[in-house]
Each structure stands twice: as structure tokens, then as C-alpha cells.
């Protein structure tokens, strides 16, 4: 009689094990679908007002000053795409050095599809990266866009010449920097896009922007080459240049590639 009751726990264990095994066999794994994305190529074409910008060529400004350019580089950072539905895409580690004689395109891969209402970005490098120690990539000090760990990055670098320059060699040298205080040289730009700026899944698009180098010298502040031909520090003069270059980039076109 005793042995008959001893078999009951063993039978219960066998039944329970079978049930667990059966449950395990029917368990399925739920997968999250990949959201639809597209690739956006942001291209900068460089001009002097309505003319294409070429090294060494002379361009005339309002007021009859003229200039030629040899070096023209600037940072584009903190890129954001603002969609008409209220969503915002922010590029991770968003720091790009644009050079009118070199790199002139930024590629944003796998951005959300939809209709973009505007693009927002900074000309320059934000305060955080100016005080974060040695950087790599487009922020590498080896690229000649960094003064020291105290004064930080050069936001815009322009080197050229002008017959009106007060320099004995008629040179123009503007290294515009400064990341804090009243004279900080970063500027935020908002560019509204047309209604056709809509991206669809798995497609490539190009956003073409125009950078007008001449706008460094007129607009908010008029630059007189006879007295203002050299800037290489963070000061009121650098801030005046920044007020001008805040308006140097404008919309050109949006298209599917």
C-alpha cells in the first residue's frame, strides 16, 4: 500500500515536464519591423554672388571692392531635419569640414522617410567639442582648423587677396573662431525646403545648397579691406564676420538621385 502512493509524485513530475516541453516547442520570437528610411546627400556649391567660385579668380563686391580666394573652409555641425509632421531627425556625431576645393558633400544614411519642412545646422563647432580634448575625423587638429585647447576651433577660414587690402602684400586672412562669450562665432542656420522635399523608402535624394563666399564681406556688417584685412582671434571683428556668414548658405534644389 505504501509503494502505490510513492509513485504519485513521480507521475506528476513526468506530466509537468511534458507540459513544459510542449510549451517550449510552440514559443515564437516576435521581430520588430525595420522602419522605412532613405539616404540624403547634402551638396554645397560655392559661389561669389551669382558666379561660380574658382581659386585665384577676381570677384567684385557691392561698393566696388574686389577679392580672390585661395582657401575657404568652414564647419557644418549639429544637423537636424525637421519634418512637417513634427518629427525631428538629429545626426549623431554631426561635425563636417567643408572645403570649396575639396569635400563639398555630407551624406546622411538611413534617415526617416517623409516630408522635410526645414533643415537646421550650425556653422562652426559647438562649445562641447571645443573643450573635449583631441578629436578625430573632420575635427582633427591636423586639418589646420584648430588654434589651441584654450581658443578652440576655427569656424570659418578664408585666405585670399584684394587690391584694396591694407596689407603690404595685398593679402586677406580671416580665421574666424571663438566659442563662448559675447564674441562667439558659431551661428545657427534655418533653411526652409519646398513642398517637393519628400523622401520615400530605400531611395537616394540630393539637397543642393549654395554657399556664397561674398556674403562674408557684406550684409549685416560691411567689411572694409583697407583696414580690416587680418583676423586671427576671438574678438568683436570675428563676431561681425559670423553675423555675415550666418546668411551665406541658401537653398538651391531638392531632387531624387
pLDDT, block means (10 residues), the chain with 257 residues: 46 48 55 89 98 98 96 98 98 97 97 97 96 90 88 96 98 96 96 95 98 97 98 94 98 97
User: What pLDDT, on a 0 to 100 scale, did the predictor assign at position 26?
Assistant: 53
pTM of the model: 0.87
User: What pLDDT, on a 0 to 100 scale, did the predictor assign at position 33?
Assistant: 79
User: What pLDDT, on a 0 to 100 scale, did the predictor assign at position 28?
Assistant: 57
Annotate the chain with DSSP letters as a single string: -HHHHHHHHHHHHHHHHHHHHHHHHH-----PPPPPEEEEEEEEEEEETTEEP-TT--EEPTTS-EEEEEEEEEEEEEEEEEETTS-EEE-TT-EEEEETTS--EEEEEEEEPEEEEEEEEEES--HHHHTS----GGG-GGGS-B--TTT-BEEEEEEEE-TT-SSTT-EEEEEEE--SSTT---EEEEEE--TT-EE-TT-EEEEEEEEEGGGGSSSSS---TTT--EE-SSSHHHHHHHHHHTTSEEEEEEEE-
User: What pLDDT, on a 0 to 100 scale, did the predictor assign at position 6?
Assistant: 44
Sequence spans of domains, the chain: 37-256
User: What pLDDT, on a 0 to 100 scale, did the predictor assign at position 3?
Assistant: 46
Amino acid at each position: 500500500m505504501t509503494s502505490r502512493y510513492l509513485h504519485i509524485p513521480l507521475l506528476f513530475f513526468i506530466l509537468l515536464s511534458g507540459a513544459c516541453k510542449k510549451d517550449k516547442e510552440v514559443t515564437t520570437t516576435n521581430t520588430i519591423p525595420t522602419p522605412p528610411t532613405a539616404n540624403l546627400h547634402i551638396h554645397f556649391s560655392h559661389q561669389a554672388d551669382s558666379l561660380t567660385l574658382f581659386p585665384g579668380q577676381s570677384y567684385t563686391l557691392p561698393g566696388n571692392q574686389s577679392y580672390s580666394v585661395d582657401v575657404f573652409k568652414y564647419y557644418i555641425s549639429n544637423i537636424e531635419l525637421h519634418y512637417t509632421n513634427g518629427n525631428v531627425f538629429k545626426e549623431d556625431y554631426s561635425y563636417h569640414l567643408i572645403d570649396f576645393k575639396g569635400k563639398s558633400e555630407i551624406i546622411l544614411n538611413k534617415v526617416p522617410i517623409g516630408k522635410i519642412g526645414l533643415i537646421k545646422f550650425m556653422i562652426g563647432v559647438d562649445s562641447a567639442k571645443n573643450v573635449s580634448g583631441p578629436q578625430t575625423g573632420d575635427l582633427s587638429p591636423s586639418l589646420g582648423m584648430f588654434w589651441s585647447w584654450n581658443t578652440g576651433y576655427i569656424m570659418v577660414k578664408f585666405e585670399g587677396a584684394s587690391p584694396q587690402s591694407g596689407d603690404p602684400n595685398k593679402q586677406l586672412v580671416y580665421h574666424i573662431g571663438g566659442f563662448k562669450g559675447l564674441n562667439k562665432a558659431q551661428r545657427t542656420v534655418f533653411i526652409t525646403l519646398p513642398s517637393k522635399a519628400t523622401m520615400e523608402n530605400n531611395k537616394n535624394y540630393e539637397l543642393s545648397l549654395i554657399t556664397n563666399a561674398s556674403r562674408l564681406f557684406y550684409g549685416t556688417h560691411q567689411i572694409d579691406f583697407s583696414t580690416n584685412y587680418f583676423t586671427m582671434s576671438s574678438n568683436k571683428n570675428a563676431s561681425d564676420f559670423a553675423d555675415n556668414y550666418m546668411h551665406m548658405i541658401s537653398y538651391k534644389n531638392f531632387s531624387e538621385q
